[in-house]
Structure 1
Amino acid sequence: MRHCLTIAITAWLLLFTGNAFAQDTFDDSVARAQLTSAVENHEPVDKLEHVVVTEPVAQVAFFTEIVGRPDSKIQHLWFYQNKLMAEVNLTIGSGRWRTYSSKKIRHDWTGNWRVLVVDNQQNILAEHPFEVVAGSQQ
């Protein structure tokens, strides 16, 4: 099942990655989803748009607020150059739930990244593409 999900998402990404900075998309159950440098007190501390700079390692987090899906599960799928790098399982505990996952990105992992939020039926709830550049390239 996991292998099929990876293949399906990779195929979908290959079809729709013509514009590396496509607009974020959200399902109705996603009240907020954003890339941030950290989460404190259950809130993102800033909003990273579409470029992340590594010096030498970038720590980024993907914050998601889910509404109307109590007692369910979601996953954050972190892709680098269309390769699945991390799969993070997250439990939604109530009708309004804030959660996040984080990723350390090495300086040599420059290029296109994407975070997908999927439910337990593999429906894509949100996506956020971003680019990682080396510290001296900003």
Structure 2
Amino acid sequence: MQVVWRTARSLVLIGLLLGPAWAEQPQTPAAPAPAPAAPAAPTLSVARDAVAANVVDREPQDAAETFAPTIHAVYYFTEVHGAEGPTTITHRWLYQDQVVAEVTLEVGGSPWRTWSSKTILPEWTGTWKVEAVTETGQVLASKTFAIQ
């Protein structure tokens, strides 16, 4: 009987010592929590734009697609929506597919009206294009016009 008790006591001790080890499951490190999504950048858009002979009271005047070579300057007007605080856009002027001027303009909120102008020499006849471009280079709007 003593042998049975010794054996039983030995089994209980072994169970107490090894029990927690048997019960433990190997643990794999938890996957890191996904990083919080970056806030979406404000989506700028151009609600309206025009190439015009002038801008008066923040509105384009005499908008057209063709201008005479005698015009002194052409204006590009843009009304920007979606700005959440100060940002900039650039008016990129192209003559015969070559960039001839870039004008960076402040956008202080939404909606925001802004414009730039380009002096036109009489010999600069032909096709022109002007683009409204974000700080990241995205073209928001463009207009093609001619000097004839």
Who is 2:53 aligned against? 37
In the other structure, the counterpart of 1:61 is 75
Aligned partner of 2:94 in structure 1 is: 79
- Ranked by relative contact order (alpha carbons within 8 Å, sequence separation 6 or more), the top structure is 1
* Maintained 8 Å contact 1:52/1:58: no
Paired residue for 2:103? 88
Distance 1:28 1:87, change over 3 A: closer
- Residue type of the alignment partner of 2:132: V
Q: Distance in 2 between matches of 1:40 and 1:54?
A: 22
Aligned-partner Cα distance in 2 for 1:129–1:58: 18
CA distance in 2, matches of 1:43, 1:106: 24
Q: CA RMSD in A?
A: 1.5
> Secondary structure, in 3 states, of the residue corresponding to 1:106?
coil
Displacement of 1:119 in angstroms is 0.2
- CA shift at 1:28, angstroms? 7.0
Q: Larger radius of gyration, structure 1 or 2?
A: 2
Question: Percent identity at matched positions?
Answer: 37
Deviations 1:106-130 (A, max 9, x none): 1111111000110000000001011
4+ residue segments displaced more than 3 Å: none
Instruction: Give the gaps of 5 or more residues in structure 2.
Output: 1-42
Matching of residues 1-138 of structure 1 within 5 Å = 29-48=45-64, 50-55=65-70, 57-70=71-84, 71-133=86-148
> TM-score with structure 2 length normalisation?
0.67
TM-score, scaled relative to structure 1: 0.72
* 5+ residue gaps, structure 1: 1-26, 134-138
Shift of residue 46 of structure 1? 2.2
